Structure 1
Amino acid sequence: MAKAALALSTLLLISGCAQNSNNAASDTPDSVTSTGQSEPHHQMTDQWVGRWTGVEGLFLEISKDEPEGPGHYLLHMRYGLDADQIGTFEGQATAEGIRFKRGDGPQLLRAGDGKATGMKWLLEKEDCLVVKTGEGYCRD
């Protein structure tokens, strides 16, 4: 009987410890988790900070969003010729590039070359950022 009580006590103690460690992990704020995950990605995207040029006066200016922390950016861009196709958007580093949202939906800014932009005027460029075919920005 004493062995059974000891075994039961040990089992309860172990299950209680396991439950507490699971709760501690789930109590971690999402911002801490996402910051840790974006940490390696922002090293690549930090190199994109600055001005990028598109065609016909289109541009992209990337700056760090310091209050939000590493891996967060502000993207000021003219992405079309219409008057409402300009704005500043919040972005976050991912393994693929910088994710952001604007009026035409969620977007991904990724590294590419002139060919990836799909625009003949940028075809010879090697250092570009592409949102989608027909929208890209390059550096000389």
Structure 2
Amino acid sequence: MNRTPFLGTLFAVASLFAMGCQERTAEAPRTSPAAAPAAASAAPAADQWLGKWNGPEGTFVQIAGGNGQYEVTVQNLDGPRTFKGTAAGERLEFERDGVRESVRATDGAQTGMKWLSEKKDCLTVKAGEGYCRD
């Protein structure tokens, strides 16, 4: 029996096998969505409200800060006052004159103020106290 053709075939099969393994190991590892790192927790809704929001007759609310801690400046007919606020879910809460107030996103109609009724991007503290982006 002549072993040369058999050894040649065996060598060819081994070479193909080795090349196939090299191609597999050269591929970038695949990650499944479950293996991906968890997304960072979302910023509080109030972080989207930073800046100045205008009301009628020169009133406004201005929100500064972020990451759940805020300074809320309310300008009404008596002048501006600043309060410390904190994020609470979809609201921003602050205390004014011993009363716990909360700011929430609404449209103009939900402010309860006819001057703002056509606006779309607003914040409301309570009925009759609202502010909108121009």
Q: Measure, in 2, the Cα distance between the counterparts of 1:124 and 1:104.
A: 32
| 1:135 maps to amino acid | E
Question: In 1, are the aligned partners of 2:72 and 2:84 still within 8 Å (CA)?
Answer: yes
Q: Measure, in 1, the Cα distance between the counterparts of 2:117 and 2:73.
A: 24
Question: In 2, are the aligned partners of 1:41 and 1:93 still within 8 Å (CA)?
Answer: no
Aligned residues: 95
Counterpart residue number, 1:87 = 81
Query: If the length of structure 1 is used for normalisation, what is the TM-score?
Result: 0.62
Change in Cα spacing, 1:118 to 1:88, as seen in structure 2 (3 Å) is same
Bigger Rg over Cα = 2
Counterpart residue number, 2:112 = 118
Change in Cα spacing, 1:136 to 1:104, as seen in structure 2 (3 Å) is farther
Off by >6 Å, runs of 4+ in structure 1: none
SS of 2:118's equivalent in the other structure is coil
Which of residues 102, 113, 126 in structure 2 aligns to 1:132?
126
Give structure 2 stretches of 5+ with no counterpart. Answer: 1-39
Give the alignment of 1:45-60 within 5 angstroms: 45-60=46-61
Query: Are 1:74 and 2:68 matched, yes or no?
Result: no
More helix per residue: 1 or 2?
1
Give structure 1 stretches of 5+ with no counterpart. Answer: 1-38
